[in-house]
Amino acid sequence: MALVELCRSLGILTPEDPYPVWNGPGGPVTIAPVFLLYDYTFRPDGALTKEDGLKLAYEKGIICRDEALLHPDPHATVEQWCWARIEATEGRLAAHDPALPIVFVTHYPLVRAPTRVLRYPLFAQWCGTTRTADWHLRFNTAAVVYGHLHIPRVTWYDGVRFEEVSLGYPREWRRRDGPPGVPRQILPEPETPEVTPRP
């Protein structure tokens, strides 16, 4: 809550605040910043359990730093923290006017598909949860904006635009055509929103 209060003092909205409504061109649209975490359900192929997925990752040396640095207190596990966030967010979304489109703003992609292009597929288990796989369909979704994967691009799932907008780290820019460009326009939807994927 100290971080939330700091953000509020700077005029920054967080997932704890009421969802604002964009009334500019292309609006009105609700902007829904959500904080959802991951629950190890984006498992590697062949891994039936969280333990199977983590065993494969440790054997290959592909471990997210969250395993050592992210503490779920007061929850017993990261999964329980993730599920609590999902339940709280679903409650807020259920109370939302279904006629008003939503732009989801989230750290993790709502669907698994964007993780299929990761250089290390084992890393996907730290990239979201299957419990949000239908949110872009259940709710009147105008777009989904996310980061985390550090693969800036636009993809479409079930006719919904997913914008990966993360800047990534400078060491990652060397593998691309150049450093990150200008901010991406989400609303109103650009006439040509396609962005060439960059591995």
> What is the tens place of the pLDDT at every residue in 139-197?
999 999 999 999 889 999 999 999 999 888 887 777 777 666 678 899 998 886 555 44
Q: What is the largest CA-CA distance in the chain?
A: 51
**Rounded-to-integer distance, Cα 130 and Cα 142, Å:** 20
Q: Which domains does the chain have, with CATH numbers?
A: 18-173 (3.30.750)
**Rounded-to-integer distance, Cα 123 and Cα 87, Å:** 25
Residue 170's pLDDT is 80
**Rounded-to-integer distance, Cα 35 and Cα 58, Å:** 27
Q: What percent of the chain has pLDDT over 70?
A: 92
3-state secondary structure of 156: strand
Residue 190's pLDDT is 85
What does DSSP say about strands 153-157 and 21-22: parallel, antiparallel, or unpaired?
A: unpaired
Average pLDDT, the chain: 91
Residue 194's pLDDT is 54
**Rounded-to-integer distance, Cα 84 and Cα 65, Å:** 22
Residue 178's pLDDT is 65
Is 94's pLDDT higher than 90? yes
**Rounded-to-integer distance, Cα 95 and Cα 104, Å:** 15
Is 137's pLDDT higher than 70? yes
Strand partners, 153: 164
pTM for the model stands at 0.90
Is 56's pLDDT higher than 60? yes
> What is the tens place of the pLDDT at every residue in 22-36?
999 989 999 999 999
